[in-house]
Structure 1
Amino acid sequence: MRLLLDLGNTRLKWAFEEGHGRWQAQGAAAWNEDMALLASTWRALPAPAAAFGASVVDAEREQAVAAQVRALFGREVAWLRTPASACGVRNAYPEPGRLGVDRFLAMVAARAAGVGDCVLVGVGTALTLDALEADGRHLGGLIAPGPRLMQQALLGATAQVRPRNDGVLVDAADNTSDAVVSGCWQAAAALVERFVARMAPRFGGAPALRLDGGDAAGLLPLLGLPATVVEHGVLHGLAVWAQAQSGSSATP
């Protein structure tokens, strides 16, 4: 049994993995929630033989999670820092550690799943896009604000843009609320479509498009391209990496 941890900007996602990608339990907790509730959930589960983590948050939160794992299970968390290559994926960044570990692990998961040439899109606080060839070569990517962060940035930087309600998605809005929501979400969709179009010649054809993250399902219907929503790509990639560290197909 392994404990897998994905420390994202908004939430901590976790899974207890039995081996071969099978999860006994999984869940998530927002950073503003009571972590004691998470501890009570973990306490009811079998103690893992090892713990592995991927993090894009600050050291303080990493240390707090590691301390909880240590207190509950007596295990140290093995944190993955983005490498130049691992699990068949070759990082395009000349400074490998500058690539977010979440992006790297999403590529590891896609490679392990045999997806082939693909564009991977993380739709969360940030909108991340990465191009991955079938042989595992990373062609690079882009980062932009996620659609909700775009909205927050717009409202924070303007004096007159003040929506009266949450707004709905439309092609052309006749009120500020709908205009803000629709503009930000359509901007995200347009960036994804443009990136796929720019990468297609380098792939020699249309790549598979995979969306992951908390807002992936919301972006999917706005795209004019076929796409698949995947869940917990970072955790699945982390499971592949953890398995490689064990050097065996058996789970302790």
Structure 2
Amino acid sequence: MRLLLDLGNTRLKWALQGPSPAWLAQGVLEWREDLAALPVAWADFARPSQVVGASVVDDAREQRVAAVVRHAFGGAPTWLRTPASACRVRNAYAEPQRLGVDRFLAMVAAHAAGQAPCVLASAGTALVLDALAADGRHLGGLIAPGVQLMQRSLLDATAQVRPQRPGDILQLADNTADAVTSGCWQAAAALIERFHAQMRPRLGGAPALILDGGDATQLVPLLSLPVQIGKDSVLRGLALWADAQMPAPANH
């Protein structure tokens, strides 16, 4: 049994992995919540043979989570740092460790599932795009502000843009609230479609589009492309990496 940890910018996701493909248990914790909720959620678990984590947060937050894991299970997690290659996926970055480990693991999950060639779009705090060839080559990607971050940046940088209510997503807006909301959502959708179009010839003409992240479901209706919704991509990629690099002891 293995405990998997995905420390993202907005929240921590975890899953308990057993011998079957389905998770034995899983959960999500927003960073604004108390980490003391984790031992409560894990209270009925037997001690896992391994605790493996992927993190894009700062060292201090990693150390806080590691302390919770030590207190709950008596051992520290193993943190995966982005490699140059693993699980038949090859990192495009000249300095491999500078690619977010979440991006690498999402590609591992997509390649293992037979979804490559594909464009992966993660719509969360940031909007992150990656192109993955059928043979596992990562061609590179783009990073832009996520929809919520775009809206906050616009409000912080302007004096007159002060919506009095949350806006709706429209093709044409006749008020500021709807204009801000619609502009940011449509900008995100347009970037995804543009990137996909530019990658088509380099990925063999018909790459899948895999959309993941907290804003994924709201983006789907704005896209003119067929979309596959990714689920637990980072955790699934982390499980595959752990299976390949640090198989669990035979007695667990």
Deviation at residue 75 of structure 1 after TM alignment: 2.0
Letter in 2 for 1:182: S
CA contact (8 A) 1:243 1:249 kept: no
Match of 1:9 in 2: 9
In 1, the alpha carbon distance for the partners of 2:127 and 2:250 equals 36
1:92 paired with 2:92, answer yes
Q: Tell me how far 1:51 sits from its aligned partner.
A: 0.4
1:45 is aligned to 45
How far apart, CA to CA, are the structure 2 residues paired with 1:176 and 1:205?
39
How far did 1:77 drift? Answer: 0.6
Q: How many residues align?
A: 252
The one-letter code of the counterpart of 1:161 is V
CA distance in 1, matches of 2:251, 2:228: 30
Deviations 1:63-106 (A, max 9, x none): 01011111110122110000000011000000001100000000
Are the equivalent residues in 2 in contact too, given 1:66–1:76 (CA < 8 A)?
yes
Asked if 1:79 is matched to 2:79, the reply is yes
Q: Which amino acid aligns with 1:2?
A: R
Equivalent residues of 1:131, 1:138 under 8 A apart = yes
Q: How far 1:19 moved relative to its partner?
A: 2.8
Deviation at 1:248, TM superposition (A): 7.0
Q: Distance in 1 between matches of 2:245 and 2:251?
A: 11
Mapped partners of 1:14, 1:251: distance in 2: 23
Cα pair distance change 1:153/1:250, threshold 3 Å: farther
Change (3 A) 1:249 1:44: closer
2:161 is aligned to 161
TM norm structure 1: 0.97
Amino acid at match of 2:81: R
Distance 1:122 1:249, change over 3 A: farther
Q: Structure 1 residues 30, 247: CA separation in 2 closer, same or farther (over 3 Å shift)?
A: closer
After superposition, give the CA deviation of every residue in 1:182-238 in whole Å (9 maximum; x if it has no partner): 000000000000000000011121200000111111111100100111111000000
Whole-Å separation in 2 of the counterparts to 1:124 and 1:182: 17
Name the counterpart of 1:181. 181
1:246 Cα deviation from its structure 2 partner: 3.0
How far is the alpha carbon of 1:140 from its aligned partner? Answer: 0.3
Give the RMSD, CA atoms, in angstroms. 1.3
2:33 is aligned with 1:36: no
* Residue 36 of structure 1, CA deviation: 1.1
Secondary structure at 1:43 match in 2: coil
Q: Which amino acid aligns with 1:210?
A: I
TM-score of the aligned structures, taking structure 2 as reference length: 0.97
Q: Is the 8 A contact 1:19 1:251 kept in 2?
A: no
1:21–1:236: 8 Å Cα contact kept in structure 2? Answer: no
- Structure 1 CA distance for aligned equivalents of residues 70 and 248 of structure 2: 24
Percent identical residues: 65
CA 251–136 in structure 1, closer or farther in 2 if over 3 Å, else same: farther
What secondary structure is seen at the aligned counterpart in 2 of 1:13?
strand
1:143 has 2:143 as partner: yes
Structure 1: which 5+ runs fail to align?
Answer: none
Aligned-partner Cα distance in 1 for 2:142–2:232:
20
- Equivalent residue for 2:57? 57
CA shift for structure 1 position 42: 1.0
1:130 aligns with 2:130: yes
Q: 1:30 to 1:251 in 2, by over 3 A?
A: farther
Larger mean Cα displacement after TM superposition, 239-248 or 121-130: 239-248
The one-letter code sitting in structure 2 at the alignment partner of 1:95 is E
Comparing 17-26 with 102-111, which one deviates more in the overlay? 17-26
Distance 1:109 1:179, change over 3 A: same
Change (3 A) 1:251 1:215: farther
Shift of 1:20: 4.4
* Corresponding residue number in structure 2 for 1:242: 242
